[in-house]
Amino acid sequence: MLQMKPVFRESQSTQYHREFYTTDEKVMQRCSRDTVRSVSDYIKISSIEHNIDSNDYLGNITYKAFGELKTLTVPRSTYLQRRRLLDLQNQGLDVTEENATLLVKYFKEEEECLVGAIRATHNTLGFSTHNGKLIFKHYNAIGIESTYSGPYDVRPRGSDKDYLKMIKEEVLGNPLMEFILVSGLSSVILAYLSDEYSLDSLIIHIASDSTTGKSTALKLAASLWSVTDVKADSLFSSYNGTNQALINKICGFSGIPYCLDEISMSSMQNFTSFIYTLVNGVEKERLTKDSKLMEKKSWLVTLLSNGERSLVGLASKNKCIAARVFEIKNVTFTRDAENAENIQRAIQKNYGLLGPKYAEYIMTLKKEDICKRFEEVRENFSALVKTTQATDELFERRTLKFAVLLLTAEYFEKFSRFTLNKDAITELLMSIEAESTGTRNNHANAMDYIKDYITINAAAFGLGGNGHNLNYGTVTPKRDYTEVVVYKPSFNEMLRKGNYEDSSIVLRELKSNGYLDCDADRYTRSRKNHNGIRQDVYVLKLYNYPIQEVITDSPTEGDEKHE
Is residue 177 one of the residues assigned to a domain? yes
The per-residue pLDDT for range 525-534, each reduced to its tens digit, is 998 877 788 8
Is residue 126 one of the residues assigned to a domain? no
Is residue 560's pLDDT more than 60?
no
Q: Among 416, 370, 434, which Cα is nearest to 190's?
A: 370
Task: Return all residues near 430 (Cβ < 8 A) that are at least 6 apart.
Answer: 384, 385, 388, 389
Q: Are residue 435 and residue 459 in the same domain, yes or no? A: no
What's the mean per-residue pLDDT of the chain?
90
DSSP 478-519: -SSSEEEEEEHHHHHHHHHHTTBS-HHHHHHHHHHTT-EE--
Q: Are residue 269 and residue 402 in the same domain, yes or no? A: yes
Q: Among 123, 219, 130, 205, which Cα is nearest to 170's?
A: 219
Q: Are residue 106 and residue 205 in the same domain, yes or no? A: no
| Highest mean pLDDT of the ranges 257-271, 282-296, 444-458 | 257-271
Q: Are residue 389 and residue 302 in the same domain, yes or no? A: yes
Is residue 207 one of the residues assigned to a domain? yes
Is residue 496 one of the residues assigned to a domain? yes
Task: Please give the share of the chain, as a percent, with pLDDT higher than 70.
Answer: 93
> Which residue has better confidence, 290 or 3?
290
Q: Are residue 256 and residue 238 in the same domain, yes or no? A: yes
Q: Using the 3D structure, point to which of 420, 440, 460 is the last residue of a domain.
A: 440
Q: How far is CA 290 from CA 162, 286, 293, 413, 509, in A?
A: 54, 11, 9, 53, 46
Q: Are residue 103 and residue 171 in the same domain, yes or no? A: no
Q: What is the pLDDT of residue 556?
A: 46
350 touches 153 (CB < 8 A): no
Q: How far is CA 279 from CA 407, 466, 486, in A?
A: 20, 49, 36
Q: What is the pLDDT of residue 552?
A: 58
Residue 88 DSSP class: G
Is residue 144 one of the residues assigned to a domain? no
Cα-Cα-Cα-Cα torsion 110, 111, 114, 120, nearest 10 degrees, comes to 140
* Strand-pair partners of 482: 477, 542
Q: What is the pLDDT of residue 467?
A: 53
Listed as own residue / partner, the contacts of 507-510 with beta carbons closer than 8 Å and 24 or more positions apart are 507/538, 509/442, 509/443, 509/446, 510/443, 510/446, 510/447, 510/540
In 77-213, DSSP assigns E strands to 119-122, 126-130, 133-137, 147-148, 202-207
Q: What is the pLDDT of residue 4?
A: 34
The per-residue pLDDT for range 3-37, each reduced to its tens digit, is 333 332 334 444 447 899 999 999 999 998 889 99
DSSP 106-133: HHHHHHHHHGGG-EEEESS-EEEEETTE
Is residue 554 helix, strand or coil? Answer: coil
Is residue 301 one of the residues assigned to a domain? yes
Is residue 557's pLDDT more than 50?
no
Q: Which of 251-265, 308-322, 441-455, 486-500 shows the lowest per-residue confidence on average (mean pLDDT)?
A: 441-455
- Give the separation between CA 440 and CA 433, rounded to whole angstroms: 10
Q: Are residue 428 and residue 316 in the same domain, yes or no? A: yes
- Give the separation between CA 111 and CA 76, rounded to whole angstroms: 10
User: pTM here?
Assistant: 0.82
Neighbour tally for 561: CB within 10 Å: 11
Q: What is the pLDDT of residue 549?
A: 67
Q: Using the 3D structure, point to which of 72, 90, 121 is the last residue of a domain.
A: 121
Q: Are residue 168 and residue 185 in the same domain, yes or no? A: yes
Is residue 155's pLDDT more than 90?
yes
Q: How far is CA 425 from CA 168, 219, 405, 410, 428, in A?
A: 17, 19, 9, 11, 5
Q: Among 246, 172, 226, 62, which Cα is nearest to 412's?
A: 172
Is residue 193's pLDDT more than 60?
yes
Q: What is the pLDDT of residue 7?
A: 31
Q: Using the 3D structure, point to which of 95, 121, 147 is the last residue of a domain.
A: 121
Give the pairing of strands 534-542 and 482-487: antiparallel
Q: Are residue 90 and residue 37 in the same domain, yes or no? A: yes
Q: Are residue 169 and residue 59 in the same domain, yes or no? A: no
Q: Are residue 269 and residue 415 in the same domain, yes or no? A: yes
Residue 95 DSSP class: -
Task: Please give the share of the chain, as a percent, with pLDDT higher than 90.
Answer: 72
Listed as own residue / partner, the contacts of 473-479 with beta carbons closer than 8 Å and 24 or more positions apart are 473/537, 475/547, 477/547, 478/541
45 touches 114 (CB < 8 A): yes
40 touches 55 (CB < 8 A): no
Which residue stretches of 441-487 are H helix? Answer: 442-456
Q: Are residue 418 and residue 450 in the same domain, yes or no? A: no
Is residue 290 one of the residues assigned to a domain? no
Is residue 177 helix, strand or coil? Answer: helix
Single-letter residue type at 35: T
- Give the separation between CA 485 and CA 498, rounded to whole angstroms: 18
> Residue 542 is part of which domain span?
443-553
181 touches 225 (CB < 8 A): no
461 touches 453 (CB < 8 A): no
* Strand-pair partners of 483: 476, 541
Q: What are phi and psi of 121, to 5 degrees?
A: -135, 165
The per-residue pLDDT for range 408-455, each reduced to its tens digit, is 999 999 999 999 999 999 999 999 999 999 888 766 778 888 888 888
In 197-238, DSSP assigns E strands to 202-207, 236-238
* Average pLDDT of the residues in 388-414: 97
Number of domains in the chain: 3
Is residue 165's pLDDT more than 90?
yes
Is residue 171 one of the residues assigned to a domain? yes
Is residue 18 helix, strand or coil? Answer: coil
